[in-house]
Structure 1
């Protein structure tokens, strides 16, 4: 999952980026509203963490512009402002959730997971396709109830496909959402990871849609 952080406090921004990368997310960091608006308008993100008190362009304006441009990614507003009027203003501008500083990083990550799940139509923290189950809270994957060990990149790929169950996901989309920006997009690592996942979870767990990409579908009973 690819996350954009727009935060002008250098230490907090770096800390959040490091924490989220440690949790398995691909993360981009912007330090002002103008750059953050541009990144959100030109890249496809699974969620955005947006501070309100930004230089250049304030966070509410950035958020309002994104929504008017049709950008629908979930946005978690992160701010030192804790009055009810600021919360209302953020939600009215198109925010999906609100977290006041100071905060616990565990709560931020939990809220982020929930936003991403709901945006893809998944209400539960456990994602299921056939006899494969992925717990987004623990990062645990099981097959017929038995734990399966995946590498970090295998987990990211499987998680993205499970969040988008029933949809065809292109190779380009997978690369954009699970790798850093400087990843070699001509690399064949997506194909390698798909092969490895099939060996661990079964050949039929991921379908290749020739010329289009990959898909996870519920097995036909």
Structure 2
């Protein structure tokens, strides 16, 4: 999953980002409400972790705009405003969850994963294609009934490729969907990850390189 952290205290924002990355959750940062809206307009996020008392554009306005956009990200308000009326107004603005400061990082991760299991559009928890069975929520992969041990990044790349339904996915799209915004667009991380993923899945190969276009999941 990919998360946007909107927090105007840089130290806290960076601590949350680093903690999420340790849990294999790609996380970007926005230090004010305007930056949050800009990033949400160009990137696809599963959840926005949103402080309320933000500079430039208040967090309440950010929540209102994101919720009003329709098929947008889930919103988890993470704020020091802990009164019942504060929570009621937060949910009224479109928040899907509400966590007050101070908080435990483990609880934040659990809440994010719970929100990730409630996508805007229904997705099957288990995807099967060409003998590969990918369990999204258990993060398990089997090929022809045999368990395949994958790293979190390999799992994310495989999920994107299978989800394309046989279509070609460019390296740029893989980089956008399986990495965060700090990924170097000129890196060879995609090529290396796809190469190691092929080896893990075994023969015959199921990830095809389409010259000049990207990668496609399926038999050659």
- Do both share a fold (TM > 0.5)? yes
1:136 and 1:151 map into 2 onto residues whose CA distance is 15
Residues matched between the structures, number:
214
What is the TM-score normalised by the length of structure 2?
0.76
Residue in 2 aligned with 1:86? 86
Secondary structure at 1:99 match in 2: strand
Q: 1:103 to 1:196 in 2, by over 3 A?
A: same
Partner of 1:33: 33
**Aligned match of 1:190:** 190
TM value normalised by structure 1: 0.75
Report the counterpart of residue 10 of structure 1 in structure 2.
10
The answer to whether the 8 A contact 1:168-1:209 is kept is: no
The answer for unaligned runs of 5 or more in structure 2 is none
Change in 2 beyond 3 A, CA 1:165/1:110: farther
Once residues 62 and 178 of structure 2 are traced to their aligned partners in structure 1, the CA distance between those partners, rounded to angstroms, is 25
- Higher-RCO chain (CA-CA 8 Å, sequence separation at least 6): 1
2:39 aligns to what SS in structure 1? helix
Report the Cα offset of residue 182 of structure 1. 4.1
Query: Residue 121 of structure 1 corresponds to which residue in structure 2?
Result: 122
Change over 3 Å in CA distance of 1:90–1:208 after alignment to 2:
farther
1:138-177, aligned counterparts within 5 Å? Answer: 139-143=139-143, 146-161=146-161, 164=163, 166=165, 168=167, 170-171=169-170, 172-177=172-177
Unmatched tracts of structure 1, length 5 or more? none
The whole-number CA distance in structure 1 between the counterparts of 2:83 and 2:189 is: 47
Is the CA contact (8 Å cut-off) linking 2:49 and 2:76 kept in structure 1? yes
CA shift, 1:3, in A, is: 1.5
Indicate conservation of the 8 Å contact 2:67/2:94, yes or no.
yes
What RMSD, in angstroms, separates the aligned Cα atoms of the two structures?
3.3
Matched, 1:132 2:133: yes
